[in-house]
Structure 1
Amino acid sequence: MSMAGTVAQIADWDDAYANIAHIPGGAGFPDAWAQAAADFRERQRGTGGQPPGPRDIFGQKKEHRDAEFYLPAGQPRGMMVFVHGGYWMKFGPSWFSHLAAGALALGWAVLLPSYPLAPGAGLREMRDRIAAQIAAAAGEVSGPIALCGHSAGGHLAARLVCGDSPLPAPVLARVARCLPISGLFDLRPLQLTAMRGDLGLDDAVVRAESPLFHLPAAGCELHLWVGSDERPVFIRQSQLLQAAWAGIPRRTTLTVEPGRHHLDVIAGLADPAHPLTEALLGGL
C-alpha cells in the first residue's frame, strides 16, 4: 500500500526543472520583462529619479558595469537587493529593472547586482561578485538590507546569508531579511540534468555551493516564496530549505502564492502594496 506523501521516481530531470515549456506563453516572458524594464528606466529618467547604472557607486569598474542602483526621493529607509535568475546562464539586471518599483516607492534604495554567467564563470565567482557589489552599495546607504532573488538568484541570495558568506561581517549583520523566490538550494538534482556541464556541477561544487549544506547566519529572517503552479521540484526545494534551516534564523517562513507560476511569481515586487513586497520589506 502506498503512503500519503510518496513521490514517484523522476525519469526526466531536464523536464522536471524545465519552466518555459510548461507555462502557456512562457517563451514570451523574457521579452515582456525587457520591455517593462525599459519602460521603467525611461519613467525614472522622465521624473528626474536616479537613473540606472553603476558609475555612481562602482566608478568605471568593468566587472560591475551592468549593475543597476536606484535611490528614492529623500533619505532611504534601507536597501533592497534583487538578484536575477536564468539558471546562472541567462539574463541580467536590465531585464528586471521594473521590479525595483515597489521598494523604490516605499522609500528604499534598490540594487540589482550583475554577475558573470556560466559557462564562463562558476557559482563561487558569481556569489563573490554579487557580494562585492552589495558591500559597495551598502557603503552608500544606511539602514537594513533586504535581500531577495529569483530562481538561480534565489540560490545566490540564500548562499549569501550562509555562515561562510563572502559578505563582510558588518554588511551581513545588516541583512535583516532574505527572501529567495522559487530558489534552488540543493544542487544535487541538477547533476542529473544537461546543465551540469555548463554549470560545473561536480560533487565538490555541489557540496560547497548548495545552501542546504550550510548553516545560515542567525541574525536575519528567512522567508521562502514560491508559486503554487510551479514545477513540483521548485516547491520541494523551498520546503527542503525551510525544514533544514528552521529555528536558526530569527524566523523562517514559507509562502506558496496561489495561482503563480515560475515566470510570474516575481511580478509582485513591482507593486508597493503587493504581499510579496510586504513580505520582503514589511516591519523593517
Structure 2
Amino acid sequence: MPVYRSYNQEALDHQYNVRAGIPDHLDIFARWSRTSAEFRKYNDVRESLAYGTEDKQSLDFFPAKSGSGAVLVFIHGGYWQSLDKSDFSTVAEAYLAEGISVAVVNYRLAPSVRMGEIIHDNMSAIAYLYKNSEELGIDGNAIYLSGSSAGGHLTAMLAGGDWTGFGVPQDIVAGACAISGLYDLEPIRLCYLNKVVQLDQEEVREYSPTLHLPSKLIPFILSVGGDETDEFHRLQAEYQTLLNAKGFDVQVVRQRDGHHFDAVDRLGKPGEDLSRAVIDMIKR
C-alpha cells in the first residue's frame, strides 16, 4: 500500500500544503514578480507570443545572442491553479549567458479548465516553438523542458506525451529537468487540492507521469528541495526508479536544504549545481 494511503486527511493535506510550510511565501512571490519585471527591462524578450487564441495561451521568449540554437522551456508551478509566466523571467539568466535561449510558458489554469486541457496547452506551446524555430532563431531539434512542482508534472507528461496531431516529431523533447514534480496524481485527487483541480480516477490514470514514461531514452534531471515534505521525496524516488528500470540515464541533483520554492531560484541562478547540470545536459 502506498505510504500516502496511511495518512489521515489532515496529514495528507499537510504533505502537499507547501505554502503553509513557508511563512514568507507571499514575499517570495512578490520578489519573483519584481525581479522578473526588472529582468525583462534589461534583456531582449518577445513577450506574450500567442500559441493559442486565449489570453493565457502565450509564452515569453528570451533569445540568446549566440549559441547552438538550443532552447530551454520553463513551465511554472502553482498547483495548476495559480502564478504566471511573468513571475519567472529570471529563470533565463543562467542560460542566456551560455548561449541558450529560454521560453517561459503560460497556460490556462484550474478550475476554468481540466488537466487534459492544461497538458494540451503546454504541448501546443512546444509545437509553436518547433514550427516557428526558424523565425525565432532556435533549433527545433534542441528543445529542452524544465518545470517546478505542477510544472515538474507537466514536464514529465510532455516528455512522455503522444504528439500525434500536433504536427511535430514524436521525439520533439530532447531532454528534461523536473523539479519537485507531482508524478502520481492519486494523492492530489485525495487531498485538499482537488477542490480546485477536480481530478477523477480516469484523469489520474491518464495524466500521471508514472504511468506514461517517455518512449525515447532522453537525458533526465530530477531534483527536490532537501527540506521538502516526505511525499515530494517519495514521488521523485518512485519516478526515478521507474525511469531507471526503462534504461534512462537519470541525474539526480541533490539539494541538502531548501524548501519548495528555493529550487526555482537555483534553476535560474548562475553557478548553482542545478543550473550547471541543466547547461551540461543541453551542451553535451
TM-score computed with the length of structure 1 as normaliser? 0.88
Structure 1 counterpart of 2:90: 98
Contact 2:56 2:108 in 1 (8 A): no
Contact 1:148 1:154 in 2 (8 A): yes
Contact 1:76 1:109 in 2 (8 A): no
Structure 2 counterpart of 1:22: 21
Structure 1 counterpart of 2:60: 68
1:10 matched to 2:7? The reply is yes
What amino acid is aligned across from residue 48 of structure 2 in structure 1?
Answer: G
Counterpart-to-counterpart distance in 1, 2:32 and 2:249: 32
Q: Give CA-to-partner distance per residue, 1:45-93, whole Å, 9 cap, x none.
A: xxxx2343316xx5x8445654111101135530100000000000110
Structure 2 residues not aligned, in runs of 5+:
none
What amino acid is aligned across from residue 175 of structure 1 in structure 2?
Answer: V
Counterpart-to-counterpart distance in 1, 2:194 and 2:5: 23
Contact 2:162 2:170 in 1 (8 A): no
Change (3 A) 1:87 1:277: same
More deviation in 260-269 or 112-121? 260-269
Of 85, 102, 126, the residue aligned with 1:134 is 126
Of 156, 159, 176, the residue aligned with 1:158 is 156
Structure 2 counterpart of 1:265: 263
Counterpart-to-counterpart distance in 2, 1:111 and 1:167: 22
SS of equivalent residue, structure 2 residue 262: coil
Deviation at 1:127, TM superposition (A): 1.1
Deviation at 1:281, TM superposition (A): 2.5
Contact 2:35 2:90 in 1 (8 A): yes
Change (3 A) 1:65 1:168: closer
Counterpart-to-counterpart distance in 1, 2:160 and 2:252: 18
Counterpart-to-counterpart distance in 2, 1:240 and 1:33: 31
Change (3 A) 1:31 1:208: same
Deviation at 1:183, TM superposition (A): 0.5
Counterpart-to-counterpart distance in 2, 1:30 and 1:279: 25
RMSD (Å), alpha carbons:
2.3
Structure 1 counterpart of 2:32: 33
Counterpart-to-counterpart distance in 2, 1:132 and 1:94: 19
1:220 matched to 2:218? The reply is yes
Q: Give CA-to-partner distance per residue, 1:214-256, whole Å, 9 cap, x none.
A: 2322231221111111111111111110112214254123233
Contact 1:151 1:184 in 2 (8 A): yes
What amino acid is aligned across from residue 93 of structure 1 in structure 2?
Answer: K
SS of equivalent residue, structure 2 residue 233: helix
Contact 1:176 1:219 in 2 (8 A): no
Change (3 A) 1:128 1:163: closer
Counterpart-to-counterpart distance in 2, 1:84 and 1:198: 17
1:231 matched to 2:229? The reply is yes
Q: Give CA-to-partner distance per residue, 1:102-138, whole Å, 9 cap, x none.
A: 1111111111111100000111111111111111112
SS of equivalent residue, structure 2 residue 113: coil
More deviation in 131-140 or 116-125? 131-140
Counterpart-to-counterpart distance in 2, 1:197 and 1:67: 28
More deviation in 168-177 or 188-197? 168-177
Contact 1:131 1:167 in 2 (8 A): no
Of 236, 251, 254, the residue aligned with 2:252 is 254
Counterpart-to-counterpart distance in 2, 1:248 and 1:166: 22
What amino acid is aligned across from residue 189 of structure 1 in structure 2?
Answer: P
Deviation at 1:174, TM superposition (A): 4.0
Structure 1 residues not aligned, in runs of 5+:
1-5
